């Protein structure tokens, strides 16, 4: 068997929308708290296994069957959790989800450490076996996109970007298996794959990734694609680009790479983002056409000059939605890169105001925002003038995500 090429995982909107446990629930509960048959037997005779009203007074195994029959994955996870919590309390003398999680992690870690090397300290293992076993550990913990994560780790250890063309029988050496396992342990803590690998592909460049700088999303590659198409028409012209909130430098560096006549200024409110953009520019040999400035867009921008193109993927998650972010986003990525205030438009408002004085005649502004925002932005610029709203573009899931505006010449 050979592995097929697969798309790299996205992040908050991760690799696949749902992750379905491949173990049956009874196997899962058994593995979770009772690796021995005696423990499973104990589970079968436990008559008050769940705190959940719907399942009280049911034997644990019946609860498992009921949940297994449920079609709804989210409710499966919910009941699975309540079963595992009370099962842990009943049979493992653990209470509280934190202790359960610790127990669960340490149990899974111990069994994986055992299975990694049963006969000697360093054993070779086929890629296919390592992939199956390690993805199972992530599946059992509900980590997003478990298989793709492990595929990337194995590929990385082999010095490749994907497992495409690698035979499942190919042997990994003991130290290679250990390196994959170290990465899986970080993933167990919900660390994004991109931070674990330390680099990520964006358009046709490779960027270094450093926590907590925002990880570029696939939608942003789409935005870069449409800007590239627009700029093709200006190929013989000198182009000055400004990026507001450059993060890792993804947008600016991808455009600089494509257009040798372009010069750019990239600003960001955080030093870690500026440092990473500068580092990525050095790695890509693009420093001579880029000026990275540590600057908040709400501050004085008078010294920046004027630009033919301004682009921004600002923080746009509203306050309410901040509470619903996946742990792999909320724990690891900088909230300055995510939180856009009450309605998600705090930074966008500053960008719209500043763009009026930063754009050249006929200069264009390109924004990546949340789905409800384009309509709001259109009304904002109609009220204030200075910019003309040209159009809204959709992302690959057909959601309104990108706004194109132009200097209207009315306010200067
Ligand atoms: C969603 S991230 C986008 C990063 C990068 N452009 C990308 O698409 O991957 C938003 C970036 O804006 C920066 N930022 C937030 N508020 C800002 C402000 N008021 N002025 C300048 N940059 C800001 C954050 O630090 C973060 O790096």
Mutate to test the pocket of ligand 1, among 315, 350, 395 (most ligand atoms within 8 A of CB): 315
CA of 210 to the centre of ligand 1 (A): 15
- CB 296 less than 6 A from any atom of ligand 1: yes
Name the closest-CA residue to atom 26, ligand 1.
Answer: 337
The yes-or-no verdict on residue 45 having pLDDT over 90 is: no
Is the distance from the beta carbon of residue 269 to the nearest atom of ligand 1 less than 6 Å?
yes
Q: Is the CB of 353 under 6 A from ligand 1?
A: no
Q: Is the CB of 404 under 6 A from ligand 1?
A: no
The pLDDT score that the predictor gives to residue 30 is 33
* Ligand 1 site, residue 270, Cβ cutoff 6 A: yes
Closest CA to 19 of 159, 191, 146: 146
Q: Ligand 1, closest atom to CA 350? A: 19
Q: Which residues are CB-contacts of 146 (< 8 A; sequence separation ≥ 6)?
A: 19, 135, 136, 137, 138, 139
d(CA 100, CA 103) in angstroms, rounded, equals 5
pLDDT tops 90 at residue 295? yes
pLDDT at 235: 72
Q: Ligand 1: which of 203, 247, 264 to mutate, judged by most atoms within 8 Å of the beta carbon?
A: 247
Query: Does residue 344 line the site of ligand 1, with CB under 6 A?
Result: no
* 59 token code pair: 């034997």
CA dist 67 and 73 (Å) reads: 9
Residues with Cβ within 8 Å of 392's Cβ and at least 6 positions away in sequence, in order, are 374, 378, 400, 402, 403, 404
CB 199 within 8 A of CB 207: yes
For Cα atoms 177, 181, 183, give the angle at the middle one, nearest 5 degrees.
120
Q: Could you read off the pLDDT of 228-273 as tens digits, one per residue?
A: 999 998 877 899 999 999 999 999 999 999 999 999 999 999 999 9
Tokens of 5: 């090429």
Instruction: Pick the closest to residue 199 from 188, 208, 190, 191 (CA basis).
Output: 208
Q: Which of 10, 13, 214 should be mutated for ligand 1, with most atoms under 8 A from CB? A: 214
Per DSSP, helices labelled H in 34-126 are: 37-45, 60-69, 73-91, 97-116
Per-residue pLDDT tens digits for 205-234:
999 999 999 999 999 999 999 999 999 988
| pLDDT, tens digit (0-9, with 9 covering 90-100), for 10-44 | 333 333 322 222 233 333 333 332 333 333 333 33
- List pLDDT tens digits, range 71-95: 233 332 332 333 333 322 222 222 3
Ligand 1 lined by 348 (C-beta under 6 Å): no
Beta-strand (E) ranges in 86-224? 125-126, 171-172, 199-202, 205-208
CB of 196 closer than 6 angstroms to any ligand 1 atom: no
Decide whether any atom of ligand 1 lies within 6 Å of the 313 Cβ: yes
Is the distance from the beta carbon of residue 369 to the nearest atom of ligand 1 less than 6 Å? no
Mean pLDDT over residues 104-128, rounded? 66
Ligand 1 close to Cβ of residue 246 (< 6 A): yes
Residues paired with residue 2 on neighbouring β-strands, in sequence order:
167
Domains of the chain with bracketed CATH: 25-196 (no CATH), 214-407 (3.40.50.150)
> What would the mean pLDDT of 118-146 be, rounded to a whole number?
87
pLDDT by residue (tens digit) across 359-368?
999 999 999 9
pLDDT digit string (tens) for 353-410? 999 999 999 999 999 999 999 999 999 999 988 999 999 999 999 999 999 999 997 5
| Radius of gyration, CA atoms only, the chain | 25
Distance 269 CA to ligand 1 centre (A): 7
Distance 243 CA to ligand 1 centre (A): 9
Verify whether ligand 1 is closer than 6 Å to residue 337 (CB atom).
yes
Strands 199-202, 205-208: pairing is: antiparallel
Residue 212, preceding bond cis, omega within 30 degrees? Answer: yes
Shortest-distance atom of ligand 1 to CA 334: 25
Give the closest residue (by CA) to ligand 1 atom 14. Answer: 245
For ligand 1, the distance from its centroid to the CA atom of residue 244, given in whole angstroms, is: 7
Which residue's CA is minimally distant from atom 13 of ligand 1? 245
Instruction: Determine whether the shortest distance from the Cβ of 216 to ligand 1 is under 6 A.
Output: yes
Q: What is the 311 CA–ligand 1 centroid distance (Å)? A: 11
Contact 166, 155 (CB under 8 A): yes
Q: Counting atoms of ligand 1 from 1, which one is nearest the CA of 273?
A: 27
Q: What is the percent of the chain with per-residue pLDDT over 90, rounded to a whole number?
A: 67
């Amino acid at each position: 068997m050979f592995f097929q090429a697969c798309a790299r995982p996205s992040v908050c909107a991760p690799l696949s929308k749902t992750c379905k446990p491949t173990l049956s629930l009874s196997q899962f509960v058994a593995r979770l708290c009772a690796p021995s048959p005696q423990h499973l037997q104990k589970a079968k005779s436990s008559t008050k296994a769940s705190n959940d009203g719907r399942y009280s007074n049911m034997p644990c195994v019946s609860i498992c069957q009921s949940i297994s029959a449920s079609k709804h994955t989210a409710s499966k996870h919910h009941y699975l959790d309540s079963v595992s919590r009370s099962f842990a309390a009943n049979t493992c003398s653990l209470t509280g989800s934190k202790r359960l999680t610790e127990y669960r992690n340490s149990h899974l870690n111990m069994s994986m450490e055992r299975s990694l090397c049963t006969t000697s300290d360093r054993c070779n293992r086929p890629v296919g076996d390592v992939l199956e076993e390690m993805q199972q550990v992530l599946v059992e913990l509900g980590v997003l996109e478990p298989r793709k994560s492990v595929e990337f780790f194995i590929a990385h250890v082999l010095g490749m970007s994907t497992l495409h063309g690698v035979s499942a029988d190919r042997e990994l050496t003991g130290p290679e298996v250990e390196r994959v396992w170290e990465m899986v342990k970080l993933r167990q803590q919900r660390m994004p794959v991109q931070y674990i690998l330390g680099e990520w592909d964006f358009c046709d460049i490779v960027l270094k990734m450093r926590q907590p700088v925002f990880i570029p999303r696939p939608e942003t590659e789409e935005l870069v694609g449409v800007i590239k198409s627009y700029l093709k028409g200006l190929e013989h012209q000198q182009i000055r680009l400004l990026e507001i909130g450059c993060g890792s430098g993804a947008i600016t560096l991808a455009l600089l790479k494509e257009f040798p006549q372009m010069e750019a200024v990239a600003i960001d409110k955080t030093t870690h983002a500026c440092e990473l953009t500068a580092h990525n520019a050095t790695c890509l040999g693009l420093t001579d056409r880029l000026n990275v400035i540590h600057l908040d867009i709400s501050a004085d921008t008078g010294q920046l000059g004027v630009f033919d193109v301004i682009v921004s993927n600002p923080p746009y998650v509203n306050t309410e939605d901040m509470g619903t972010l996946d742990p792999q986003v909320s724990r690891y990525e900088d909230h300055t890169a995510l939180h856009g205030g009450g309605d998600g438009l705090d930074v966008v408002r500053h960008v719209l105001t500043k763009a009026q004085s930063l754009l050249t005649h006929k200069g264009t502004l390109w924004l990546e925002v949340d789905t409800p925002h384009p309509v709001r932005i259109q009304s904002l610029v109609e009220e204030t003038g200075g910019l003309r709203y040209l159009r809204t573009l959709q992302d690959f899931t057909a959601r309104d995500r990108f706004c194109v505006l132009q200097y209207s010449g009315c306010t200067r």
